[in-house]
Chain A
Amino acid sequence: EVLLLESGGDLVPPGGSLRLSCAGSGFPFNLYAMIWVRQAPGKGLEWVSTISETGDASHYADSVRGRFSISRDNSKNSLYLQMNSLRAEDTAMYYCATSEFSQFLPPDNWGQGTLVTVSS
C-alpha cells in the first residue's frame, strides 16, 4: 500500500520560509515521479510542482516559480518543498502525491496533507 506522510506545515509570517517534507513507503519511491498539490481553504485543487523519478527535471506553477523549489532524496524515500518569500495567498493544505507512470501525468496516490498558514 502506498503511504505518503507530509510534515513541516506551520504558521509563518509573510516573507518567511518553510520546508515541507513527504516520506513515502510501500512503493518503489525511486521509480515514481512526485507531485505537490495545494488547496486553499474552501477552494479547489491547485497543482504546485512535479519532480521526475531521478530528480533531474522539475516543473512549477507560475504562482510559485522562483519562490518554491522541489527536491527529493531517493536514498531516504523523501520529497521536499522549499518555500521562500511566502505570501498570504500561499496559505493552504499542501498534499504530496505520486505519479506512477510519468512526470507528465496528474497525481494518483495522495498523502493526508500538511497545513501552511501565512499570516502576521
Chain B
Amino acid sequence: QSVVTQPPSASGTPGQRVTISCSGSTLNIGGNLVYWYQQFPGTAPKLLIFRNDQRPSGVPDRFSGSKSGTSASLAISGLRSEDEADYYCASWDDRQGGLVVFGGGTKLTVL
C-alpha cells in the first residue's frame, strides 16, 4: 500500500480532457514538490511534470500539473491515442529520515 494514492485506472475519448489525482499527506505532497511520469509498456518512465507544474522541454503543453494542499493532479487536454500509458506521481516524504514515495500508478485508456 503506497502512502500516496492514485486511481488505478482512468479513461477518456480522443479530444477530451482527463485528470488523474494523487493524494498524500503533509509529510509528502503537502510539504514537498510533486513530479509526474509517463510510462509505456516495456520502456523506462519519462518525466512529464516536475516541481508541481513545470514541463520539461519537449513535453507538449497538453500536459499540466497542479497541487493544492495534500493533493496533486495531472491534466491531459486534447487527449490522443498515443497518451495511453501508465502515469505515476511522486514526492519526497519527510518520515524516517526521508524517502521518495511513488503513487501506485494510473493506467490511462483512450477509448
* Given A62-B96, A106-B91, A106-B100, A45-B105 contact (CB < 8 Å): yes
- Over the window 94-115 of chain A, the binary record of Cβ atoms lying under 8 Å from chain B Cβ atoms (1 yes, 0 no) is 0100000000111111111100
**Residue contact A106 to B90, C-beta cutoff 8 Å:** yes
For window 81-99 of chain B, which residues contact chain A by CB distance below 8 Å? 88, 90-92, 96-99
- A37: chain B residues within 8 A (beta carbon): 45, 100, 102
* Given A59-B97, A113-B44, A45-B33 contact (CB < 8 Å): no
Is A46 an interface residue when CB atoms closer than 8 A count as contact?
yes
**Residue contact B105 to A44, C-beta cutoff 8 Å:** yes
Is B46 an interface residue when CB atoms closer than 8 A count as contact?
yes
Interface residues on B, range: 20 to 34
Interface residues on A, range: 20 to 34
Residue of A nearest to B35 (CB): A106
- A51: chain B residues within 8 A (beta carbon): none
For window 37-70 of chain B, which residues contact chain A by CB distance below 8 Å? 37, 39, 43-47, 50, 56
- A47: chain B residues within 8 A (beta carbon): 90, 99-102
**Residue contact B35 to A105, C-beta cutoff 8 Å:** yes
**Residue contact B44 to A106, C-beta cutoff 8 Å:** no
**Residue contact A107 to B47, C-beta cutoff 8 Å:** yes
Is A11 an interface residue when CB atoms closer than 8 A count as contact?
no
**In the complex the two chains form, what is the Cα distance from A110 to B103 in whole Å?**
17
Is B24 an interface residue when CB atoms closer than 8 A count as contact?
no
A51 smallest CB distance to B (angstroms)? 12
**Residue contact B104 to A44, C-beta cutoff 8 Å:** yes
* Given A50-B100, A62-B96, A45-B91 contact (CB < 8 Å): no
Footprint of B on A, CB under 8 Å? Answer: 35, 37, 44-47, 50, 59, 61-62, 95, 104-113
Footprint of A on B, CB under 8 Å? Answer: 2, 32-33, 35, 37, 39, 43-47, 50, 56, 88, 90-92, 96-105
Q: 15 A–B contact pairs at CB < 8 A? A: A37-B102, A44-B103, A45-B37, A45-B45, A45-B88, A45-B102, A46-B102, A47-B102, A59-B98, A105-B33, A106-B33, A108-B47, A108-B56, A111-B44, A112-B43
